[in-house]
Amino acid sequence: MSPDERQKAFDDAVAFVYKAYPQMDGRGQLYDHWAECNYYQQHVINLADSFMEEHRASKSFRATWKFCELVNQSQRFLYETNLMNDLKKLCEINTIAVDTLDEADRRDDLKASVLSHQANLYESIGKVDQAIEWNQQAYQIRLNQKPPKYHLISSFENNLGFCYNTANKHDTAFEYFKKAEATWHGQGLPCPVVILKNMARGLLYLKRLDEARALLKTCIDGFRNEDTLNWAMVAYSAYFALGLIDRREGKFESAEATFIEAQNLWLKGDLKELHPFNGACMYKTGAVCLDQGKVEAAIKHLRDSIKVTEKHMKLMPVEHARSLFKLSEALTQDPQYESEAEGFRDKAEKNLRERDPSATDFGSEEPYDLLIPIFWR
């Protein structure tokens, strides 16, 4: 085929897959469409590979906005399902593709979206400073757009908030959540529940536990009153955070039930069992079982957690280290497991040092928690 024929064939294939691939809902999420996204995902990857092959062969080969938007939708799916290597690859390709677009408005929109997904990726794997930098770049793009797209400005204020939470800068995080809320109120609109639940979690890390609990319960009611239950957000932030509050207040039995409820909500459907959040739910359940002296139950939950965290050990060593550390604590309660406990403790320290070579404190949950993304900390 001639170069023009190759361009047309590529654009036609993109248009076909673009029409079939699920679109993000009004919340910018794809949680209810994972099975469909997964079905079409290989087609998106093949198109992305084809684009790079053609672009390397001829700099005149260009992307269409449909291609960039299709890859953008796919990026969201990959982030939600924690397929980080594929996400990194598609973000890099989309960055190149976006630069070939002629339409300035669409180019800016898509550039901000790619930066957002790159930030999500890096926050998830513990490189939060880079995540904040990319979110700030995208935030400036949104602030400079005319007319202002307030819902997108608010989205980046929210993103910066949870990234600063992960960076353990909780006062700054809360300032961004308040900005996100004010952006909506400035338009005479109520703040979306998805932002309020992040604000509630921010209150938790500011040690304002009563306020956090009250707002989380309001958010759960808000989620349950929506036309379609946002099960992921209810599990991720609402029930999981309530469990954290219960544990801090010494309500271990209630915390155990709440972490189990978070996990049950999360596991509605396919593709979720190996997600780090599922591992975190099992970890927290095991931890509060140990708080109650339920050693056998703690060991079971923590062993189950390790089966998940070891799948992500290369990119997320601290999650695995945390589960190993807590399992070693549980095993030391039974003399028959003394040798096994020591081995798990050594592995935990080794994995923690992979993320933080200067680490010297290995004897509590805190040094592990401080390096884990806020959604499953």
224-281 pLDDT per residue, tens? 888 778 888 899 878 999 999 999 999 999 999 999 999 999 997 566 899 999 999 9
Q: How far is 53 from 55, CA to CA, in rounded Å?
A: 6
Tokens representing residue 28 in the block: 């910018």
Number of C-beta neighbours around residue 82 at 10 A = 21
Could you report the per-residue pLDDT of 54-90, keeping only the tens digit for each? 999 998 999 999 999 999 999 999 999 999 999 999 9
Residue-level pLDDT at 270: 62
DSSP 374: G
Give the pLDDT score at 164.
98
Reported pTM? 0.93
Q: How many CB atoms lie within 10 A of CB 171?
A: 10
| Relative orientation angle of helices 170-185 and 193-205, to the nearest 10 degrees | 150
Q: What is the DSSP letter of 337?
A: G
Mean pLDDT score across all residues of the chain: 95
Nearest Cα residue to 20 out of 6, 33, 7, 5: 33
Taking the C-alpha atoms of residue 207 and residue 245, their distance in angstroms, rounded to an integer, is 9
- Which pair of structure tokens corresponds to residue 179? 């900005």
State the CB neighbour count (10 A cutoff) for residue 142: 21
Q: Check: CB of residue 48 under 8 Å from CB of residue 69.
A: no
Q: Residue ranges of the alpha helices (H) in 125-149? A: 128-144
pLDDT at 338: 86
Q: What's the CA gap between 374 and 201, in Å, rounded?
A: 9
Contact predicate 142/152, CB 8 Å: yes
For residues 127 and 371, give the distance between their C-alpha atoms in angstroms, rounded to a whole number: 9
In this structure, the chain runs to a length of: 377
Preceding peptide of 276 cis, ω within 30°? no
Taking the alpha carbons at both ends of the chain, their separation in whole angstroms is 53
Yes or no: say if 140 and 156 are a contact pair by the CB < 8 Å rule: no
pLDDT score for 224: 86
pLDDT of residue 326 exceeding 80, the answer is yes
Q: Half-sphere exposure (CA, 13 Å, Cβ side) for 152?
A: 21
Rounded distance between C-alpha atoms, residue 150 and residue 139, angstroms: 11
Burial of 235 per CB tally in 10 Å (0-12, 13-18, 19+): buried
Residue 245: what pLDDT? 98
| CA separation for the pair 169, 73 (Å, rounded) | 30
Alpha-carbon span 44 to 36, nearest angstrom? 12
pLDDT at 313: 94
Query: Residue 315 has which token pair?
Result: 């990119």
CA angle, 45 then 46 then 50, to 5°:
115
For 266, residues 6+ apart whose C-beta sits below 8 A from its C-beta are 231, 232, 235, 236, 272, 275, 277, 278, 281
Annotate 172-196 with b (16+ C-beta within 10 A) or e (fewer): bbbbbbebbbebbeeeeeebbbbbb
Q: Looking at the predicted structure, is the pLDDT value of residue 334 above 90?
A: no
Q: How far apart are CA 113 and CA 245, in angstroms?
A: 33
